[in-house]
Structure 1
Amino acid sequence: MLRVAVLVSGGGTNLQAIIDRIEDGTIKNTEIVMVISNNKNAKALQRAEKHHIPSMCISPKDFESRAVFNQTLLKTLMDLNVDLIVLAGFMVVIPPEMIQNFRNRIINVHPSLIPSFCGTGYYGLRVHEAALARGVKVSGATVHFVDEGTDTGPIILQKAVEIKTGDTPEILQRRIMEQAEWQIMPKAIDLIAAGKVKVEDGRVIIEEETA
Structure 2
Amino acid sequence: MLKVAVLVSGGGTNLQAILDAIDEGRITNARVDVVISNNPGAYALERAKGHGIEALCISPKDYESREAFNEAFLAMLDSYQVDLVVLAGFLVVIPEQMIAQYRNRIINIHPSLIPSFCGKGFYGLKVHEGALARGVKVTGATVHFVDEGTDTGPIILQKPVAVEEGDTPEILQRRVMEQAEWIILPQAIDLIANGRVSVANGHVTVEK
How far has the Cα of 1:79 moved from its partner?
1.4
What count of residue pairs does the alignment treat as equivalent?
208
1:7-30 CA-to-partner distances (Å, cap 9, x unmatched) read 000000000000000011110011
CA distance in 1, matches of 2:5, 2:66: 21
- SS of 1:142's partner is strand
Question: What is the match of residue 74 of structure 1?
Answer: 74
- Determine helix, strand or coil for the equivalent of 1:164: coil
Mapped to 2, the partners of 1:105 and 1:15 lie a distance apart of 17
Q: After the TM superposition, which of the residue ranges 56-65 and 143-152 deviates more from structure 2?
A: 56-65
Which residue is 1:28 aligned to? 28
Q: 2: distance between equivalents of 1:72 and 1:28?
A: 31
- How do 1:159-178 and structure 2 match up within 5 A? 159-178=159-178
Using the alignment, how far apart are the partners of 2:47 and 2:77 within structure 1? 20
> 5+ unaligned residues in a row in structure 1: which ranges?
none
* Alpha-carbon distance in structure 2 between the residues aligned to 1:10 and 1:34: 16
Is 1:129 paired with 2:129?
Answer: yes
Secondary structure, in 3 states, of the residue corresponding to 2:198? strand
1:85-143 Cα deviation digits (max 9, x unpaired): 00000000001000000000000000000000000000000000010010000000000
Instruction: Provide the rounded CA distance (Å) in 1 between the counterparts of 2:99 and 2:89.
Output: 17
Following the alignment from structure 2 to structure 1, what is the Cα–Cα distance between the partners of residues 22 and 62? Answer: 32
- Counterpart code for 2:92: V
Match of 2:44 in 1: 44
1:189 match: 189
2:27 matches 1:14: no
Counterpart of 2:75 in 1: which secondary structure?
Answer: helix
Instruction: Report the RMSD for the aligned CA atoms in angstroms.
Output: 0.5
Which residue matches 1:150? 150
Identical amino acids, percent of aligned pairs: 69
Equivalent residue, structure 2, for 1:202: 202
What is residue 103 of structure 1 aligned with on the other side? 103
User: Normalising by the residue count of structure 1, what TM-score does the alignment of the two structures yield?
Assistant: 0.98
SS, match of residue 76 in structure 1: helix
**Unpaired segments of 5 or more residues in structure 2?**
none
